[in-house]
Structure 1
Amino acid sequence: MPTEIRRSVCPYDCPDTCGLLVEVEDGRAMRVSGDPEHPFTRGTLCPKMLHYEKTAHSPLRLTTPLVRIGPKGKGEFRAATWNEAVAIIAARWREIISGYGAEAILPYSYAGTMGLVHRNCGHAFFHRLGASRLDRTICSPAKEAGWKAIMGDTPSPHPDEVAESDLVILWGINAAATNIHFLHGVRETRKRGAQVWLIDTYETPTAAAADRVILSRPGSDGALALGMMHVIAREGLIDKAFVEERIQGFAELAEQILPGYPPERVSAITGVPASVIEDMARCYARAQAPFIRLGSGLSRYGNGAMTVRTICALPALVGAYGKRGGGLLASTSTGAAFAMKEVTREDFMLRPTRIVNMNRLGHALTELSDPPVKSLYVYHSNPASVTPDQNAILRGLARNDLFTVVHDRFMTDTARWADVVLPACSSLETGDVYRAYGTYCIQRAWPAIPPVGESRSNWDTFAFLAEAMGFDEPYFSQTEEEIIEHLVAIPAPMRDGIDLARFEEGKGVELPLAPDAPRTFRTPSGKVEILNHREPEPLPRHLPTHEEEGNLPLMLMTAPTLYALNASFYEQDELRERQGGMRLMVNPVEAGTRGIGDGERVIACNERGKVEFTLAVTDRVPPGVAVAEGVWWSEHAPGDRTVNALTSQRLTDRGNGSTFYDTRIEVKKAR
């Protein structure tokens, strides 16, 4: 058979949303490479996606439905047909609905696929069923809340504008792992003489792209921004015209807040020397067009939204929001590009049902009542690995009265606890529409290969379940192609002016962004709203984290790795090997005081759990911090638990987000 080249899109939860070229022979993906015609990713891929064909055709792929025959958690199943598996699910759900009501059924999903149809089509099914709704806030809702408090609906600048900056600050973002294509513009502007700073809690691989690395204590980034603003205001380095004409509340900030954050006090909070804070402030204020690329990790603390809000105030003082190549990029808002209500169908709900926060799944499975959760349906997520407070979740999954269904490509840690497992398609086996959240690109994809084994897409699975439950709405009888065609046929002002021919060819295209859109402030006042009376706290200030006064000595960073994305890609042996095992990184000082050495087995522990790691001693991590990169599958872990046995179900100050980084631990030698 001749080789065919088919276009596709990376489906994973990454801001870049890379364009792919898939070489297909006889229905099998032989090679995956970057699409050089993609307007942002330009033909390059991260290490994770270089061999995506190994994921699509992994020998670990589930290829038939499975029904549990052994104890929960043992992963003992027998093969079943789709008809049998769906009949079992429908019968159990009818029984649960009869005894407890449909709200006793809880869906659980997040961003295992970012395709707009397959990620979101389950909403319509569960709305029609009357199930509990899931508050999907595990990633960065606090970041969004912080941006909106200052900037409202103002769009972020185009990421390529960074090439016009003379000072780039990579603030709390390990771009080498999570936003690799943004570094293209960073490298270009650095070649032309721009300075690049990295501000983070430890020296990540992104430090190689920076001229200067500033390490601040976990959760203290807002205080650092306030310290810089204190110096800028004190030394008269503000852009007076911009402040007077385009900012609401600078006088109140300068009078009520900034006097409380002199460099000496901020140094005590952040660990950054006062002289460095002063130098940072002066360099930032004197730059012609300073550009901040803001990560999401710093929003995953109890003070996350306020931290983001405070950092977002900083560019306003020097007028950076009014300059090309300046300002702040948190994420791009492309949600208005497609009419997602046509997919999610909230109108199917007979009444609003209860909402369960996904970060508190452990609580939902073990304590929630009226009604209790009697069935959990998991799709494109792996909560036993990726969700906070792993031990609470496993206690819930172990309940004999909990009926759990998992739809996935692999026998994940969650699937091992399921009563029924359904085989899912990879993105190469489905069509969909994608929109980026770190660029202004959209792209349509068609299936590149047929489904592997008996795997079915989310759309086809929910259509099958709808039929079994007796739903007769025409929505559920559409094919995947029909719902996609319906979605792209609905006009949206945000798509006006796109290269429609390229889009219909399956190529990545950019949504038009007016040149001055990031500099036209979409707030109620039309100004940058440093003072916002709609917020519980009208002005930005530093708030403590949950663990600021915690008893244990080390703050744990559950950080991204170059070779995995959360719990994805652990099916590829080469990528696991490149991580070097499930490691905990600490500073030599911390290792020395505990009498533990590089390569030793250690136990990280707190009140929620104990996790075994291999120790990595490195001066890339400052004292007082421990770093665990990646979210490992338990079968590859040194012990029987992984990193989220240590994280908590506590939420952020705004947005009800996760607080993965707001965790303290102790470390000791494993016995």
Structure 2
Amino acid sequence: MHICTSVCPYDCPDACGLLVTVEDGRVIRVAGAPDHPFTRGTLCPKMAHYERTVHSPRRLTTPLRRVGKKGSGEFAPLSWDEALKIIADKWRYIIKEYGAEAILPYSYAGTMGIVQHDAYHGLFYKLGASELDRTICAPAKGRGFQDVMGRTLPTAPQEAQKSDFIILWSIHMLATDIHFQHDLKTARQNGAKIYCIDTYKNKTAAWADCFIAVRPGTDGALALGLMHVLARENLTDEAFLAQNVIGWEELRREILPKYTPEKTEELTGVPAETVIELARMYGQAKAPFIRLGSGQSRYRNGAMTSRLITCLPAVVGAWGKQGGGLLTSASASKAYDKSIVRHPEWRQAGRRVVNMCRIGEALTRDDSIRSLYVYSSNPACTAPDQNQVIKGLSRENLFTVVHERFLTDTARYADIVLPATTSLEHDDAYYSYGNYTIQCGFQAIPPVGESRSNWEVACALARAMGIEDPFYRQSAKDLVEKLIATTSVWPEPVDRELLKSGRPTPLTLPADYNTSFATKSGKIEIRNDELTPALPDYLPLAEDKGELAFVNAPDMRILDSSFNERDELTKGQTMLLFIHPEDAARFDVHDGETVTLANERGSADFTAKISTCTGKGQVVSEGVWWQERVKGKHSVNVLTSQRLTDEADGSTFYDVRVDLHKK
């Protein structure tokens, strides 16, 4: 028996440090690493028994070839040599007959390790395949921050310990950033007040001192209402603004007069007196801190909304105050030069680019995509407009390969399924995007069955396709060592020996990191002349058909569609729909009844839960569930849209309206 260090590989901002106990080639226990500077020895319930995922009886252990109808899940085993030959032969035929752009890779963040996440990029660049614009999460949030702050490093989460007023804005912390509560508990012990702003009262909201419900998609108007009150009541830091900010006077003169507390209430549903109270609390705080989640960015106005919220710390001079600032996503990824794995110089000019949020449209518009290679993602479940995605995946003339650990909803539509390793069966380098920590995770156990890592399969496919570049003769560990060597790009020294050891490695931040503004002007740019409009303003959502707004939020038991394989996590009700009592009375709905939500894209069945956690005119569900976990024919993304955000072409998962019917 021995203990290995490792990292949580999932798409979560925390990137927990792990202690993995191994006996006879099996993982028997997973615990938190106490020396991790942010996760501090604790794990979420999902990772506390990661060994149940690693050694799940549902793991794929051999390559499979489809023998039944697409979607039926009927497969027969075959060897790796046979599988690779089938793929290579099919790709050569497609390239000859239709051109290399008829091949499309599809992936996201099923693993956050750099080597495995980026393993296939170079291969598809070399082939000249179509490229994927990977925007399904929250690029609009990052763009909104960048529009104001440029490449300025966001505030470290531990800074919140010294804050006296903290806003959790559109982040279900207990589901998606659980370790931040350590910092909030310290702040609370020191007297800080914690407010939560969200579209419904989830468990994080109940944890805060005060909850403020905002109408879906109107967070930007709330930010403007707060700035209106801050300016009106002289709660702004005029000295900071004069020295460090461009555009404040124009915003105050041209935009803010429209957003009185009364107008803000009309737009957002937040009572005028609450707008005033929140502005006063924020403006009078010595060091206010905002932890900004991603929910507010998943609307058509997502980038503008994030831009407006990002203006708030500048207005009160929170930057540079110990404990103050704003954290969107930390920039720990900048510690590595990821081009070592990605090889962007191999990209072939003029290749077709497909936005992953519109994969349904891309697969059904015409037959120009003839092969889809899916890894580290589950689009049949997680992509918007599920009916269109399934229609595309059902095409008999679409040759689909899925590299996966489990027979997911997407894998059921594959022609070839390849078994993938988990993070404990391969080497990789990791970073957090919610704190400034990096770490390496090295192979702890042999691959389960015949599973192979993304990198191993990328190398095998490169050879099968006649690509002899020496890059593909390296091991994953070789690439990890090269990534470690590139950490010199970080502005402060990185403890490379600690990183090589596999232990959590904190990134030292420059002393002036939150007062040195990395924009073209060197100042915070409330007015950005490269944008239209140059001054930020609220963008209202266009009215879609449907009586009710619908938001699908995170479920604490799973992460996107990951962990659906674990029965002990998924037991209990799924596709639960929170309905306000007044709406329940209007539709004559009672607790426990099956109801259907429908719009022009499709319909899905839910179990009604009457609750005041949601507001009138709005219904809420939690979780992205595999088909086997839901009672009807479809899961939640049958309702969501392929439309994109105002900037950065991100997803609009929360910008949905529906009608409700009783079964």
TM-score by length of 1: 0.97
**Paired positions, count:** 663
For the 8 Å contact 1:339–1:492, the answer to whether it is kept is: no
Q: CA deviation at 1:368?
A: 4.7
The CA distance in 1 between the partners of 2:327 and 2:492, in whole Å, is: 23
The CA distance in 1 between the partners of 2:344 and 2:133, in whole Å, is: 14
From 633, 647, 652, give the equivalent of 1:654: 647
2:302 alignment partner in structure 1: 304
- The answer to whether residue 353 in structure 2 is matched with residue 355 in structure 1 is yes
Q: CA deviation at 1:19?
A: 0.4
After superposition, the C-alpha distances for 1:38-91 in whole angstroms (9 at most, x for unaligned) are 111110001111110000000000000000011111011100000011111111
Q: Which runs of 5+ in 1 are unaligned?
A: none
Give the AA of the match of 1:292: I
2:545 alignment partner in structure 1: 551
1:102 alignment partner in structure 2: 100
Does the C-alpha gap of structure 1 residues 145 and 491 become closer, same or farther in structure 2, counting only changes over 3 Å?
closer
From 602, 605, 608, give the equivalent of 1:609: 602
After superposition, the C-alpha distances for 1:186-242 in whole angstroms (9 at most, x for unaligned) are 111111111100000000111232110000000000000100111111122211111
For the 8 Å contact 2:104–2:373, the answer to whether it is kept is: yes
From 212, 225, 241, give the equivalent of 1:227: 225
For the 8 Å contact 1:267–1:273, the answer to whether it is kept is: yes
From 564, 570, 574, give the equivalent of 1:576: 570
Moved more, 349-358 or 254-263: 349-358
- The answer to whether residue 581 in structure 2 is matched with residue 588 in structure 1 is yes
1:214 alignment partner in structure 2: 212
Paired residue secondary structure (1:490): helix
For the 8 Å contact 1:380–1:407, the answer to whether it is kept is: yes
1:289 alignment partner in structure 2: 287
- The answer to whether residue 451 in structure 2 is matched with residue 458 in structure 1 is no
Paired residue secondary structure (1:92): helix
The CA distance in 1 between the partners of 2:151 and 2:520, in whole Å, is: 10
- The answer to whether residue 263 in structure 2 is matched with residue 265 in structure 1 is yes
Q: CA deviation at 1:465?
A: 0.6
- The answer to whether residue 335 in structure 2 is matched with residue 337 in structure 1 is yes
The CA distance in 2 between the partners of 1:581 and 1:392, in whole Å, is: 23
1:414 alignment partner in structure 2: 410
RMSD: 1.1
After superposition, the C-alpha distances for 1:593-649 in whole angstroms (9 at most, x for unaligned) are 111111111111111001011112211111111111110000111011100000000
Does the C-alpha gap of structure 1 residues 340 and 591 become closer, same or farther in structure 2, counting only changes over 3 Å?
same
The CA distance in 1 between the partners of 2:454 and 2:358, in whole Å, is: 24
% of aligned pairs identical? 52
1:478 alignment partner in structure 2: 474
Moved more, 468-477 or 611-620: 611-620
The CA distance in 1 between the partners of 2:485 and 2:303, in whole Å, is: 37
Give the AA of the match of 1:379: Y
1:524 alignment partner in structure 2: 520
1:620 alignment partner in structure 2: 613
Moved more, 445-454 or 335-344: 335-344
Paired residue secondary structure (2:642): coil
Paired residue secondary structure (1:298): helix
1:669 alignment partner in structure 2: 662
Q: CA deviation at 1:444?
A: 0.7
The CA distance in 1 between the partners of 2:231 and 2:138, in whole Å, is: 30
The CA distance in 2 between the partners of 1:643 and 1:345, in whole Å, is: 36
Alignment of structure 1 residues 54-453 onto 2, 5 Å: 54-368=52-366, 372-453=368-449
Give the AA of the match of 1:658: S
The CA distance in 2 between the partners of 1:5 and 1:205, in whole Å, is: 34
Give the AA of the match of 1:399: R
The CA distance in 2 between the partners of 1:134 and 1:160, in whole Å, is: 35
From 554, 558, 562, give the equivalent of 1:564: 558
The CA distance in 2 between the partners of 1:491 and 1:399, in whole Å, is: 45
For the 8 Å contact 2:484–2:500, the answer to whether it is kept is: no
After superposition, the C-alpha distances for 1:508-566 in whole angstroms (9 at most, x for unaligned) are 01111023201211111111111110111101110012xx4223121111111111000
Paired residue secondary structure (1:517): coil
Q: CA deviation at 1:495?
A: 6.9
Q: CA deviation at 1:291?
A: 0.4
Q: CA deviation at 1:667?
A: 1.6
Q: Which runs of 5+ in 2 are unaligned?
A: none
Q: CA deviation at 1:93?
A: 0.6
The CA distance in 1 between the partners of 2:536 and 2:288, in whole Å, is: 21
Moved more, 145-154 or 476-485: 476-485
Alignment of structure 1 residues 624-635 onto 2, 5 Å: 624-635=617-628
The CA distance in 2 between the partners of 1:489 and 1:528, in whole Å, is: 33
Q: CA deviation at 1:393?
A: 0.5
Paired residue secondary structure (1:127): helix
The CA distance in 2 between the partners of 1:351 and 1:286, in whole Å, is: 53
Give the AA of the match of 2:489: P
The CA distance in 2 between the partners of 1:74 and 1:44, in whole Å, is: 40
Give the AA of the match of 1:133: E
Q: CA deviation at 1:441?
A: 0.3
Q: CA deviation at 1:569?
A: 0.4
For the 8 Å contact 2:170–2:197, the answer to whether it is kept is: yes
After superposition, the C-alpha distances for 1:455-502 in whole angstroms (9 at most, x for unaligned) are 000000111111110101001111122222222223523174223332
Paired residue secondary structure (2:361): helix
After superposition, the C-alpha distances for 1:107-127 in whole angstroms (9 at most, x for unaligned) are 000000000000001101100
Does the C-alpha gap of structure 1 residues 191 and 368 become closer, same or farther in structure 2, counting only changes over 3 Å?
farther
- The answer to whether residue 629 in structure 2 is matched with residue 636 in structure 1 is yes
After superposition, the C-alpha distances for 1:256-303 in whole angstroms (9 at most, x for unaligned) are 100111111110000011111111111111111110000011100000
Give the AA of the match of 2:653: F
The CA distance in 1 between the partners of 2:652 and 2:533, in whole Å, is: 20
Moved more, 288-297 or 492-501: 492-501
The CA distance in 1 between the partners of 2:47 and 2:136, in whole Å, is: 23
Moved more, 104-113 or 321-330: 321-330
The CA distance in 2 between the partners of 1:89 and 1:295, in whole Å, is: 40
From 495, 499, 504, give the equivalent of 1:508: 504
TM-score by length of 2: 0.99
Q: CA deviation at 1:348?
A: 2.1
Q: CA deviation at 1:168?
A: 0.2
Give the AA of the match of 2:568: E
Q: CA deviation at 1:161?
A: 0.4
Paired residue secondary structure (2:308): helix
Give the AA of the match of 2:635: T
For the 8 Å contact 1:65–1:81, the answer to whether it is kept is: yes
Q: CA deviation at 1:8?
A: 0.8
The CA distance in 2 between the partners of 1:572 and 1:630, in whole Å, is: 14
